[in-house]
């Protein structure tokens, strides 16, 4: 009798624990509606915003063209500058009307297309300046949303992006592959010119 | 040599992917479909007119015939000059005879390929740059309403570059005698089509 009671109790307890464990909660299968969290929101923002993604790729391409030392510097300083710029953007509420990212498109595009051999320190300054500027605009855009964690996500994504792209460009040996990178740079410069064109069109 | 072949394979795959993507219909899964579709529209625009397609391919083939440094100088300068033409179009600055200019670009570039003409580098660059303004102007004036200007611009700049790339790849057969002949035939075809476009433009 006692044994059967213990058996029943065990079954009941097992059923209760199973019921608790199996109790359905929110499925969260549709990430578009529930969100993936601020870090992924930041990564998504970078990857889906051509105004940010293209200059980041351009920095990586140019870092690869310039070589190992400037590439390593950019790898660490560019995402850091972006993060600092982002935090400073939190205190600002409005975006400037002129599309300032167009300047980084133009500058980096021309540097890549011409394959200009600027001194390493100059390139480092350019990478930091571009990082701060784009980070600043990200800070303004993200402060009401993913905020600081979003910026951390962007910083991590930038680090990975720079590491992969600049290392790939650095590994390119045949001369014509370098030309392909330069052609891509001319596309970036052309996009920068067109961004300025679109701005002036909106003013007309 | 094997490495070169591998890189060439990669480039061909990349170009094929771009062409494939430019022909796919938009998924329209996201809210910003009106904005995002601008990129696809921009990609399609240079492909939508045979006059653009043939002229861009002629630039690539001619660059391949001329060899270095024209091989890379022409595709590098073209998008930047083209964007200046596009800005003129965006700002509503009129450019007379756009269609005629595009048709003449096909005639002259086709003729250059046909004759394997090798002028001085700056003459080739100025000639290609001059016609780039007409092509850019046409792209700049034809953004459908409600679409992202930046994404549209990115699309047509990339599509133009891909067309140059196709021309350069076609031009790689220049190393063989039969290839040279085939390229000259392609030049004759492009020039003949240019005459047809010109007839259409002035008729």
Number of domains in chain B: 1
End-to-end CA distance of chain A: 93
Query: Between these two residues, A78 and B98, which has the higher pLDDT value?
Result: A78
Residue B14 pLDDT: 72
Q: Give B-chain residues touching A173 at CB under 8 angstroms.
A: 3
In three-state secondary structure terms, B147 is: coil
Residue A5 pLDDT: 67
A189/A193 Cα distance (integer angstroms):
6
Average pLDDT over residues B124-141: 87
Residue B175 covered by a domain: yes
Of A190, A200, A204, the CB nearest to B79: A190
Residue B19 covered by a domain: no
Omega cis (within 30) before B69: yes
Mean pLDDT by 10 residues, chain A (204 residues): 66 70 49 62 85 93 92 93 91 78 90 90 94 90 79 92 93 85 91 86 74
Average pLDDT, chain B: 82
Q: Which of residues 53-72 of B touch A (CB under 8 A)?
A: 71-72
Binary contact (B80, A190; C-beta < 8 A)? yes
Find, in chain B, the residue whose alpha carbon is nearest to that of A48.
B36
Percent of chain B with pLDDT over 70: 83
Binary contact (A113, B80; C-beta < 8 A)? yes
HSE, CB side, 13 Å, CA atoms: give it for residue A152: 7
Rounded to a whole number of angstroms, the distance from the CA of B140 to the nearest CA of chain A is: 9
Residue B144 covered by a domain: yes
Q: Which domain holds residue B64?
A: 35-202
Residue B93 touches chain A, beta carbons under 8 Å: no
Sign of the dihedral defined by the CA atoms of residues B40, B42, B48, B52, in that order: negative
Residue B150 touches chain A, beta carbons under 8 Å: yes
B178/A134 Cα distance (integer angstroms):
52
Residue B90 covered by a domain: yes
Question: How many other β-carbons are positioned within 10 Å of the β-carbon of residue A141?
Answer: 17
Residue B2 pLDDT: 56
pTM: 0.75
* Cβ neighbours of residue B38 closer than 8 Å, sequence gap 6 or more: B143, B147, B148, B149, B150, B151, B152, B155
Of B71, B79, B150, the CB nearest to A195: B150
Q: Token pair for residue B103?
A: 């048709």
Q: Give B-chain residues touching A191 at CB under 8 angstroms.
A: 83, 150, 153-154, 157
Binary contact (A193, B161; C-beta < 8 A)? no
A64/B141 Cα distance (integer angstroms):
36
Which helix (H) or strand (E) segment is B85 a member of? Answer: helix B70-90
Percent of chain B with pLDDT over 90: 14
Using 50, 70 and 90 to split pLDDT, how confident is the model at B94?
confident
Binary contact (B154, A191; C-beta < 8 A)? yes
pLDDT in tens, B152-192: 888 888 888 888 888 888 888 888 888 889 999 999 999 99
Residue B80 touches chain A, beta carbons under 8 Å: yes
Residue B139 covered by a domain: yes
Q: Give A-chain residues touching B91 at CB under 8 angstroms.
A: 197, 200-201, 204
Q: Which of A175, A167, A184, A188 is nearest to A68 (CA)?
A: A167
Binary contact (B150, A50; C-beta < 8 A)? yes
Residue B13 covered by a domain: no
Residue B4 covered by a domain: no
pLDDT in tens, B9-57: 777 777 777 666 666 555 444 444 556 677 888 888 888 888 888 888 9
């Amino acid at each position: 009798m006692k044994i059967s009671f213990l058996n029943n109790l065990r079954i009941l307890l097992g059923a209760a624990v199973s019921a608790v464990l199996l109790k359905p909660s929110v499925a969260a299968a549709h990430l578009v509606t529930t969100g993936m969290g601020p870090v992924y929101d930041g990564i998504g923002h970078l990857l889906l915003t051509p105004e940010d993604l293209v200059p980041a790729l351009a920095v990586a391409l140019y870092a690869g063209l310039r070589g190992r030392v400037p590439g390593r510097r950019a790898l660490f300083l560019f995402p850091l500058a972006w993060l600092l710029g982002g935090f400073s953007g939190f205190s600002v509420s409005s975006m400037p009307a002129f599309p300032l990212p167009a300047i980084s498109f133009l500058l980096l595009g021309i540097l890549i297309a011409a394959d200009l051999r600027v001194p390493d320190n100059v390139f480092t300054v350019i990478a930091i300046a571009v990082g701060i500027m784009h980070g600043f605009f990200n800070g303004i855009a993200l402060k009401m949303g993913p905020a600081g964690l979003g910026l951390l996500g962007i910083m991590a994504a930038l680090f990975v992006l720079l590491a992969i792209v600049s290392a790939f460009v650095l590994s390119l040996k045949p001369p014509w592959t370098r030309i392909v990178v330069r052609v891509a740079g001319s596309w970036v410069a052309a996009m920068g010119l067109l961004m300025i064109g679109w701005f002036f069109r909106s003013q007309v | 040599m094997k490495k070169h072949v591998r890189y060439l394979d990669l480039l061909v795959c990349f170009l094929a992917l771009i062409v494939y993507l430019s022909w796919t219909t938009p998924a329209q899964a996201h809210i910003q479909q009106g904005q995002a579709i601008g990129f696809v529209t921009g990609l399609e625009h240079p492909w939508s007119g045979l006059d653009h397609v043939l002229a861009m391919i002629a630039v690539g083939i001619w660059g391949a015939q001329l060899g270095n440094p024209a091989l890379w100088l022409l595709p590098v300068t073209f998008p930047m000059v083209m964007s200046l033409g596009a800005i003129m179009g965006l700002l509503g600055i009129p450019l007379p005879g756009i269609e005629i200019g595009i048709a003449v670009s096909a005639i002259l570039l086709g003729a250059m390929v046909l004759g394997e003409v090798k002028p001085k580098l700056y003459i080739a660059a100025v000639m290609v740059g001059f016609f780039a303004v007409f092509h850019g102007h046409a792209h700049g004036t034809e953004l459908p309403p409600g679409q992202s200007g930046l994404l549209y611009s990115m699309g047509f700049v990339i599509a133009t570059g891909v067309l140059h790339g196709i021309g350069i790849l076609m031009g790689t057969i220049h190393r063989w005698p039969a290839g040279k002949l085939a390229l000259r035939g392609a030049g004759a075809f492009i020039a003949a089509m240019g005459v047809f476009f010109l007839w259409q433009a002035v008729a």
